[in-house]
A = this chain, B = another copy of it.
Amino acid sequence: MRIGELAQRAGTTTRALRYYESRGLLPARRGGNGYRAYDEEDLRLLRQIRVLQDFGFELEETRPFVECLQAGHPAGDSCPASLEVYRAKLAELDAMVARLTEVREQVAAQLTQAEAARDALAAADREPRCELARTDDRTIERGEGTR
């Protein structure tokens, strides 16, 4: 199998495959003509890379999985190093979620407060019970309050 076919079967591009090779992630044997030669096993490695990439793993983080498969293990995550990457990623995701959630709550609180302030202002506008007279020029036409 040559690079184009592998790329197509894995749903990626020849450029990406050469890039992976340049990173030492997916080495390729070469035919006499210099063309890269791949087999079904390489397709497995590549699929492992793609799955992890889709999960948001960085390329470097996929390396232990690929090496695990290369070492003949049944799955990319059969090796301790891969499990460690899983755990690190879990911790990373948890930290991100916590951070985002905290920001979310702060923004929500700001929104609530700003809406309350706006409503309070609107209410005061409709029914001004404070002693200070409004300085409005009465440009508002649709006034239900004064009607």
Contacts and interface: CB of A to CB of B under 8 A. Distances in A.
Interface of A: 55-56, 74-75, 77-78, 82-83, 86-87, 89-90, 93-94, 96-97, 100-101, 103-104, 106-108, 110-111, 114-115, 117-118
Rank and list the top 8 A-B pairs by shortest CB-CB distance, nearest first.
A77-B114, A86-B111, A93-B104, A97-B100, A93-B100, A55-B103, A89-B107, A96-B100
Contacts of A83: 111, 114-115, 118
Contact of A78 (B74, B77, B114): B114
Contacts of A94: 104
B104 A90 contact: yes
Contacts of A89: 107
